[in-house]
Amino acid sequence: MLVLSLFIILIAIIYFYFIRPLNYWKNLDVPFIPGYPIVGNFIWTSLKKQSFTDELNSLYNAFPNEKCVGMFSFGTAPALLIRDPELLKQITIKDFNYFTDHTKSFFKDGFDTLIDRNLFTLSGNEWRDMRATLSPAFTGSKMRGLFNMMNDCSEQFVSYYSNKVKNAKDSHLEVELKKSFTRFTNDIIASAVFGVKCDSLNNEQNEFYLMGCKAAYFATWRILLSNFCPWILKFLNLGGVIPEECCKYFKNLVYETKAVRERENIIRPDILHLLIQAQKGALKDDSVEENKGFVGTESKTVGNIKKLDDDDIAAQAFLFFLGGFETTSILMCFTIFELALNPDIQERLLNEIQNTLSESNGEFSYDVVHKMKYLDMIVTETLRKWPPAPITDRVTTKNYKIQVGKKLITLEPGFPITVPIIGFHRDPQYYPNPEKFDPERFNDENKKNIKPLTFCPFGAGPRLCIGARFAVMNAKIIIFHMIKNFEVILVKNSTVPPVLSSKSGNTILENGFHVGLKLRKL
């Protein structure tokens, strides 16, 4: 009898938590994409039969004549999928006060201050105040101050592979870009954010890199427990999606580095220094209008300047690592791989590099990078075709009426909004022949015709990624050095045509980014 009772209770739990919610949109009589228990609309991703990016794009295309449709996220929670740029503008900019926050389906509160207090996970006025406090640290002039650190790491990277090519048996050296650029990005962030010198190509087992990998590559079991049984993780003191040992490592690194700098009066113009300046109230907003390329522009954040403590500083530094470690390396991988696929584009970029250096008397600087229009067009087109983060989200903070199909419905506080960035970027009505890699889409003549918010690789509105400038400048510097020094070619192991991996949750190629490097005659 006890077994039967437990069985009935189990069935009831499964029905009420995982099956009943699938009727949500049907009961409202609005257009929706039918889902499955637990996995929602991501069954093929869950079965590793299709990449998350490709399945998300399919959801975007399911109702081509609707501005928004109902869907189901992981865990069968109903969500609203946005597929109209005007509606996206309404939500992320015009009516932003109704959608100020991200959902917390991934990073749950209560595990560690690194997660709870970083800019991405903060909500409401706490987010506004933190954004207003941090924004002066990411102006163009502050990025100018980081240029030399990025450039030094890039030259170190190129020098390493130049020696490898010289000693190669063949006329070229085959490399897998993801492994290489992940280590390079690790060194950039270690230096420019935490003030730590790394050489992850020569010292593959350095602690910063190993801890970074543990923090950035989320274990599936942690994601499931964090979403469905967070009490188990808390009871066992294992941390949330990020392992406890990683959180302790990065916090101690920030605390110790900060203490040494203050004790010995060390000033190093990196992100940690800017955060310390913000803590002291000495960080000045020196933002001016400048050429930002086509990455996107954030709306001005209205908030009070927040008094930061050491936990706040550690949380923001860790967010910068977590946000850039994987996504920036993916941007670099796809850009270089597309240049290997399109040697005519690569040759034109090389000509721009040579001409630019000639005009600047061989000097490579922050200003030189920002003068290179074709380089900007190439990076922008990569972000369009292969956005490292193919999705973003919002959550309603108060009742909001919205038209879904022919019905006006009310979204209650806490209702999730899904923005399929990849859908907008691959929609042929905005970008004809979207599978083609064509930097000319973003030349001076064409880019003014691009519909606002159909290009949003870093999000939109006030919650646009604060590190967008850092990521793009980072990518441009290494691409400059790579193409200046190497001809990048396809090899036998190259994935042609490019196919996204169904085995990884990240936007990466099946079987990796294999290319060949040939030294140029300088």
Looking at residue 103, what is its pLDDT? 84
The answer to whether 514 touches 187, Cβ cutoff 8 Å, is no
Token pair 């020094």 is found at 485
* 191 has a pLDDT exceeding 60: yes
According to the model, what pLDDT value does residue 270 have?
87
Per-residue pLDDT for 427 more than 90?
yes
Give pLDDT tens digits for 319-348.
Answer: 888 888 889 999 999 999 999 999 999 999
Q: Tell me the average pLDDT of the chain.
A: 88
Q: How confident is the model over 299-310, as a mean pLDDT?
A: 73
User: What pLDDT was estimated at residue 381?
Assistant: 98
Q: Which residue has the tokens 């390396």?
A: 329
Q: Kindly tell me the sign of the dihedral angle through the C-alpha atoms of 44, 47, 53, 54.
A: negative
How far is the C-alpha of 385 from the C-alpha of 437, rounded, in Å? Answer: 7
Q: What is the pLDDT of residue 234?
A: 66
Relative to beta strand 78-82, strand 416-419 is: parallel
Residue 221 has pLDDT above 80, yes or no: no
Angle made by CA atoms 115, 125, 301, in degrees to the nearest 5: 100
Whether 296 has a pLDDT exceeding 60, the answer reads no
d(CA 5, CA 33): 35
Percent of the chain with pLDDT over 70: 88
- What one-character DSSP code corresponds to residue 495? -
Residue of higher predicted confidence among 155 and 291: 155
The tens digit of pLDDT for each residue in 250-267 reads 999 999 998 988 888 888
At 6, list the tokens.
């437990």
CA atoms of 485 and 141, how far apart (whole Å)? 28
Look at 301-310, 387-396, 471-480, 493-502 and tell me which has the smallest mean pLDDT.
Answer: 301-310
The residue assigned the tokens 């923005």 is 419
How far are the Cα atoms of 69, 87, 338, 485 from residue 82, in angstroms, in the given order?
Answer: 7, 7, 29, 43
Q: At 381, phi and psi to the nearest 5?
A: -65, -35
Helix (H, G, I), strand (E, B) or coil at 44: helix
Rounded percentage of the chain residues whose pLDDT exceeds 90: 57
Q: Is the pLDDT of residue 222 over 70?
A: no
What pLDDT digit, counting tens, does each position of 379-404 carry?
999 999 999 999 999 999 999 999 99
Residue 229 pLDDT greater than 90, yes or no: no
**Long-range pairs for 154-163 at CB < 8 Å and ≥24 separation?**
154/184, 154/477, 154/478, 154/480, 154/481, 155/481, 156/187, 156/199, 156/201, 157/184, 157/187, 157/201, 157/478, 157/481, 158/481, 158/482, 158/485, 158/486, 160/201, 160/202, 161/486, 161/517, 162/485, 162/519
Tell me the mean pLDDT in the region 280-292. Answer: 67
Question: Mean per-residue pLDDT for 203-229?
Answer: 75
Burial 133-157 (b: 16+ CB within 10 A, else e): bbbbbbbbebbbbbbebbbebbeeb
Report residue 287's pLDDT band, with 50, 70 and 90 as the boundaries.
Answer: low
* Structure letter (DSSP) for residue 500: B
Instruction: Give the count of alpha carbons within 13 A of 231, CB side only.
Output: 0
Residues 162/519, Cβ–Cβ less than 8 Å: yes
Token look-up 């060194």 returns 187
Top-confidence residue, 300 or 372: 372
Segment 62-77 mean pLDDT: 92
Question: How far from chain centre, in Å, is Cα 23?
Answer: 33
Residue 486 has pLDDT above 90, yes or no: yes
Q: Is 333 annotated as a binding-site member?
A: no
CB atoms within 10 A of CB 228: 12
Q: How far apart are CA 116 and CA 126, in angstroms?
A: 11
Q: Mean pLDDT throughout 415-434?
A: 97
Q: What does the pLDDT read at residue 477?
A: 97
> In which band, very low, low, confident or very high, does the pLDDT at 226 lie, cut at 50, 70 and 90?
low
Residue 218 in this model has a pLDDT that exceeds 70: no
Q: Provide the pairing of β-strand 400-404 with 416-419.
A: unpaired
Given this model, what pLDDT does residue 262 score?
87
Choose from 125-134, 305-314, 388-397 the range with maximum mean pLDDT: 388-397
Cβ-contact 411, 95 below 8 angstroms: no
Is residue 98 very low, low, confident or very high in pLDDT (cuts 50, 70, 90)? very high
Residues 6+ apart with CB under 8 A from 38: 18, 74, 75, 76
Taking CA 112 as the corner, what is the angle to CA 73 and CA 80, rounded to the nearest 5 degrees?
A: 15
* Three-state secondary-structure class, residue 141: helix
Distance CA 458, CA 58 (A): 21
φ/ψ of residue 400, rounded to 5 = -140, 125
Tell me how far apart the alpha carbons of residues 139 and 484 are, in angstroms, rounded to a whole number. 28
Q: Given this model, what pLDDT does residue 305 score? A: 78
Given this model, what pLDDT does residue 225 score? 63
Q: Residue 181's closest CA among 335, 54, 352, 305?
A: 335
What is the 8-class DSSP label of residue 328? H
Other CB atoms within 10 A of residue 445 CB: 8
Flag whether pLDDT at 117 surpasses 90: no
Show the domains of the chain with their CATH numbers.
Answer: 2-519 (1.10.630.10)
d(CA 100, CA 11): 37
